[in-house]
Amino acid sequence: MKKTFITTLLISSALLNAKIELLDRIAIIVDDGVVMESQINKAMAALEEGYREQNIQLPPKDVLLDQIKERLIIEELQLQLADRAGVKISDAELNSTFSRLASNNQMSLEEFISFIETNGDSYEEVRETMRKEMRIQRIQRGRVNSNIEITEKEFEAFLATDESLGELEPELQVRQILVKDKSIADRVINLINEGTSFSELASEYSISSNASNGGLMDWRKAIDMPQLFENALKDKSIGYVTEPLESGSGFHILKLEDKRGQFVQFEDQWNARHILMIPSAIRSDDETESQLQEVRQRVMDGEDFALLAEEFSEDPGS
């Protein structure tokens, strides 16, 4: 009994002294989702490796970190949109994509998988990364496939809803300047008001990943942007510049550069009636045409078309 007690005590002591290893933790909460610290660390390592491979001097680490956080937040928001839209990439579609990539690199699929793993990457992780990218691309391009048949009444009912406005609204081209604090944002706003080029200010001040491109963002509908951006740009004209918008990444200044697309245009619709007369063995082509000309003249003179159709037309439907 004493021996058992001593053994139990030793085990308990070992457990108390054991090292507790934290595997991962939440770094950013994004609406209904999260960005994990491991995602940020992995993206940082990949970005730093890219700079080293291209022999380019690394920007300050806090600038890189802000760019990575912004990119991961946008990716998470787009994946949430994909979830709400029901966008899924099947294994078959993913396999086809990898087969095409392997073929483009003059490899078989097995050789391509071996190449990935030889470079220290996990094939399964690469597959899931590719699946996410394909879902995001499908959301960005609006290629959400549907086999739903919609009736005319359902379509007219949809056009009467607020949701239809989101579907029919134009795409926006926006420039962005992202800075760390309000004082810098106010300084940038003053420079814009003085006439300084927005794109030049973006290149000089912005810590966003698109700073080198003058802050230019991809074409996107407002509803596909973060809600902060959507609300700021709603119903605004080309050339509009927002006040500084505060988010978890800092302060955003947006400029509406351009719009494209148009609302659905309805063509004129016509209700038509006809009178059909068919040549036969007892009525030649010429006689048929002559009789139709007479009927036409009677219509032109004001007689009721429906009554003439009932009398002369040989089409049961008319």
CATH number, domain of 42, equals: 1.10.4030.10
Give the model's pLDDT for residue 23. Answer: 62
The closest alpha carbon to 180, from 282, 251, 273, belongs to 251
Give the model's pLDDT for residue 265. Answer: 39
β partners of residue 247: 250
The closest alpha carbon to 225, from 192, 252, 264, 244, belongs to 252
Q: For the chain, how many structural domains are there in total?
A: 3
The DSSP secondary-structure symbol of 213 reads G
Supply 36's token pair. Answer: 């994990």
Q: Which helix (H) or strand (E) holds 138?
A: helix 123-141
Same domain, 49 and 72: yes
Q: Is 76 exposed, middle or buried (0-12, 13-18, 19+ CB in 10 A)?
A: buried
What are the CB-based long-range contacts (under 8 Å, 24+) for 185-188? 185/244, 185/251, 185/253, 186/244, 188/253
Same domain, 176 and 253: yes
Supply 309's token pair. Answer: 């159709």
CATH number for the domain spanning 255: value is: 3.10.50.40
Q: Is 66 exposed, middle or buried (0-12, 13-18, 19+ CB in 10 A)?
A: buried
Which of 100, 120, 141 is at the close of a domain? 141
Give the model's pLDDT for residue 152. Answer: 63
Same domain, 210 and 307: no
Instruction: Give the Cβ contact number of residue 281 at 10 Å.
Output: 5
Same domain, 192 and 253: yes
Segments forming the whole domain that contains residue 201:
171-260
Same domain, 89 and 192: no
In a domain? residue 165: no
Give the model's pLDDT for residue 287. Answer: 84
The three-point CA angle 224-235-176 to 5° equals 55
Same domain, 116 and 30: yes
Per-residue model confidence as pLDDT tens for the chain (318 residues): 444 444 444 444 444 454 555 567 888 888 778 888 888 888 888 888 877 777 777 788 888 888 888 888 888 888 888 888 788 888 888 888 888 888 888 888 899 898 888 888 888 988 988 898 888 888 776 644 444 455 666 556 665 665 555 566 788 899 999 999 999 999 999 999 999 999 999 999 999 888 888 999 988 888 788 889 989 998 888 899 999 999 888 999 999 998 886 543 334 455 667 788 777 767 788 888 888 889 889 988 888 888 888 888 876 555
DSSP string, 17-83: HSPPP----EEEEETTEEEEHHHHHHHHHHHHHHHHHTT-PPPPHHHHHHHHHHHHHHHHHHHHHHH
- Confidence (pTM): 0.37
Same domain, 290 and 243: no
In a domain? residue 20: no
Same domain, 250 and 293: no
Same domain, 242 and 299: no
In a domain? residue 157: no
In a domain? residue 11: no
The closest alpha carbon to 209, from 69, 50, 31, belongs to 69
Give the model's pLDDT for residue 271. Answer: 61
Which of 232, 260, 288 is at the close of a domain? 260
Same domain, 248 and 281: no
Same domain, 30 and 120: yes
Same domain, 108 and 40: yes
